[in-house]
Structure 1
Amino acid sequence: MNPHPIKKNWLLLSHAFNMDGRAASLTITDKIPYLLEAGISPTVFSAITGLKDTRFPHKQFLAWGPAAFRFDFRHWIANKYGRGFIYKVLTRTVSVLLAPLIGIEKICLGYSSQWSWAIPAFIRGYCLIRMGKVDVIYSIGSAWSAHLTGVWLKRATGLPLISEVHDPLVIRINPNDQGFSKPQNRDARFRHYLESQLCKYSDYVWWFTDGALHYAKVRNPNLNTPGNAQGFVVMPGANPPGDMTNRGAHHYGEYLNLCHFGSLANDRSLSIVLKAIKALTEKYPEARQHIRVHAYGAPLDALSIEAIKRYGYADILLAHGRLEKDPSSGRSGREQVAEKMQEADVLILLHGNDEWCAEYIPSKFYDYLWAGRPIWGITHRNPQLDQMLLDRGSYLSADGDGEGITMALERIWLDWQKQALIKPVWNPIGVDQAVACILDHVQEGLICD
């Protein structure tokens, strides 16, 4: 028997919870079965944007600010009525009515919209704590309002606070920037302050990469010192996004299908892949008829759209958008994503080109590992991610190295022609190890009986 049993009543502060397919939601909802197995009794506070959980107390709050209210209202209406006529009428009406108030909020504060969710979450959390129903406060990113609530509750009640930082709160500009300077943007400036508060008031705080912990420690030398937060790294992993048991021999078809899942932006764009395809087809003209790039989960970014027009690739880059729950089959968007991943010849992992990539690993990477398909990682200044890709057998390129990206695509093309694409090492990273890591760290600390 463990001589230091973990206190069991945990208050989970997660703005995004039970939102189908959203990374910030999956990172915590995937942990729930393992927390329950460990004897944790959770109470969850979240926004109204996800589905209400019935396994334990789950309170959903509307944010009190107009911008966040508009955001939450859109998701709530979509969950209740779909995105048809009712959705369009109601959301547009609410947007028009709230526009003046949103403008005032932006001028007066300048914070990201979800900041005001912290107000109702703090009030209800404080009441719950005063009733003796909470032993531990657990704040979960990515929305920083959860961390703000956690700090407020810690300072008001003295209860132990553990904090999970998904994305770096301080965004550095270049390799020489350590993140010390105060940003001009008010939201960024507040996140800078909030990071220092977490490093001061949390009992334990963890990040998802070695780089993120390193730079947080540089900015907050009090981290890991007596009386301050104890910081460490947790690899979040992922549960299988669907049925991943049918991993038989891969079927090679008429097309080399390169598939990307997740968000796109100008700093994380499929245009670099299209540019490589252009170079490849100049060397291998027949490739023009056999390469297809599929984008799932988000609209195309501006640079990809421009590249499609420039190269005439409307038939090569196919945007499928977000996969929502299918009413006819009952399959969730996540289950459909799992199926499409397994059908891919190669999965594209776009890391981006911003400096913060040194502190960030795309959450989709962990889903990709379950698919059992080769990954083509195009990464930026992240040795930890590069090593994980290489250890599992992957195609690897560096963002910004156009020649290297073209060479990697040529290798993929030649391997596909020979029906000899890389066979990845089956070594997915589950969520069980993340929960075990968290509990191992906190077990001997202040939050134990």
Structure 2
Amino acid sequence: MQSKKRWLILSHGFNMDGRASSQTITDKMPYFLEAGIEPTVFSAITGIKDRRFPHRQFLAWGPAAFRFDFRHWIANQYGRGLFYKVSTGIVSLLLAPLIALEKFFLGYSSQWSWAMPAFTHGYKLIRDGKIDLVYSTGGAWSAHLAGLWLKKVTGVKWIVEIHDPLVIRKSAVDIGLERPKNRDAGFRHYLEKQIIKHADFAWWFTDGALHYAKTRNTNLNTAGNAQGFRVLPGAEPPGGLIAAKSHLYTNTLNLSHSGSLAKDRSLSTILNALHSLFKKYPQAREKIRVHAYGAPLDELTIHAIKHYGYQDVLIAHGRLEKDPVTGKSGRERVVEKMQEADVLILLHGNDEWCAEYIPSKFYEYLWTGRPIWGITHRNPQLDEMLSERGAYLSQEGDSAGIDMAIERIWLDWNERKLIDPQWHPLGVDQAVAQILSKIEDKQ
């Protein structure tokens, strides 16, 4: 008898080096394979094709998503040199009128149209009896839309992994009941309700996200609706780490941040605190350096650098891609830089959605064995996870507290007594075990 383990996995950004939305699913694959799952993966063309199992990559059918996918495909194939600039420029110019029409009539985020080829090809597999379960994971919500269509048309079992909240609340008193006027936000609001009504299982990555989803949708966990739970996604040991590396103090206190930056998650917070520290300890000006990896600097950080004259204090390394000489992936190169740091900076943000969000980089930080300086916002779960492992902890918006934290780090470093964090990383194996346990209980 055929086992019920033939899974269709819908993941728009599968196998995109260094992308959190990719790593969350790709890190799980070895454990799924070990558990006897027979996966077929559908993704966009933006990632590297996986050879361990059937992996089909589709271009989105909408012009905005086509342009996005094309850019990444050209970069993967030919790099970001002259050919990339010319070819993507021509495609962008040709597609501009169609993109304008798409935005005018729909107003959705660009990747929405990837749901169409994912549904079309998924329907054929299900119709031919080759799929027992559909697993949509985002990243881009187009994967969930394709999963919803497949569920409605075929009745196939459907499980949903929601990375970031689909409904973005405005304040602590707003639970997200009102459908937003913005068309993309409004569709995500609708999609959340549809997931809870039609999916068999759905899970979120934080206690806060599950809490607010349940508050908005009282039918969650009731008969005939999705069974919802919380899964800590964890991360695989980046670069093959299996133990914390002993730290070597140098003549420089190196603070390191990895990941995206924005106005609500800005290294200007760190630079402002350093400016206060340098007034109190002038010698620190030549001893402290901040390293930024993985993203362009945000507008507030750029302004702070110019305002204070800190061009030598903050060093922007940009995104580390695969090294053709050593063969190391961008992810492996970044973890090497993490381990060289004295303290890792974790910026949470200042939006209300922080109550439902934990930066994915946090789980990679845990593998490095380096102390973390977390500047968090309205998230007791994240605060507790940081505190129980040993970390420097500040609250977003508390300038005095942030100034005290950087002073403590400076004094601890001078005494060679930085916090020695507990070696308690969270792997992906625990997430897979929890997912399989929930699903198999209902087989």
Name the TM-score, length of structure 2 as normaliser: 0.99
Mapped pair 1:40 → 2:34: no
Query: How far did 1:110 drift?
Result: 0.1
Q: In structure 2, what residue type is equivalent to 1:428?
A: P
SS in 2 for 1:147: helix
Query: How far did 1:142 drift?
Result: 1.5
Q: In structure 1, what residue type is equivalent to 2:26?
A: T
SS in 2 for 1:242: helix
Query: What is aligned with 2:218?
Result: 221
Mapped pair 1:315 → 2:312: yes
| Equivalent position to 2:238, from 241, 244, 266 | 241
Contact 1:172 1:356 in 2 (8 A): yes
Query: What is aligned with 2:326?
Result: 329
May I ask how many residue pairs the two structures share in their alignment?
442
Query: What is aligned with 2:364?
Result: 367
Contact 2:244 2:423 in 1 (8 A): no
**What's the RMSD between the two structures over aligned residues?**
0.9
Summarize the alignment of residues 29-428 of structure 1 with structure 2, pairs less than 5 Å apart.
29-245=26-242, 247-428=244-425
Choose between structure 1 and 2 for higher RCO, CA contacts under 8 A separated by at least 6 residues.
1
Contact 2:245 2:369 in 1 (8 A): no
Q: What is the rounded CA distance, in whole Å, between the counterparts of 1:6 and 1:216 in structure 2?
A: 33
Contact 2:244 2:367 in 1 (8 A): no
Contact 1:6 1:443 in 2 (8 A): no
Q: What is the rounded CA distance, in whole Å, between the counterparts of 2:327 and 2:179 in structure 1?
A: 49
SS in 2 for 1:189: helix
Contact 1:27 1:236 in 2 (8 A): yes
* 1:186-238 deviation line (CA, Å, top 9, x unaligned): 00000000000000000000000000000001111000000100000000000
Mapped pair 1:7 → 2:1: no
SS in 2 for 1:18: coil
Q: What is the rounded CA distance, in whole Å, between the counterparts of 2:135 and 2:247 in structure 1?
A: 42
* 1:246-266 deviation line (CA, Å, top 9, x unaligned): 644311111100000000000
Q: What is the rounded CA distance, in whole Å, between the counterparts of 1:188 and 1:63 in structure 2?
A: 20
* 1:144-184 deviation line (CA, Å, top 9, x unaligned): 00000001000100011000000000000110111011111
Query: How far did 1:245 drift?
Result: 4.2
SS in 1 for 2:316: strand
Query: How far did 1:7 drift?
Result: 1.9
Q: In structure 1, what residue type is equivalent to 2:118?
A: A
Summarize the Cα distance change of 1:363–1:286 in structure 2 as closer, same or farther, 3 Å threshold: same
**Percent identity of the aligned residues?**
70
SS in 2 for 1:352: coil
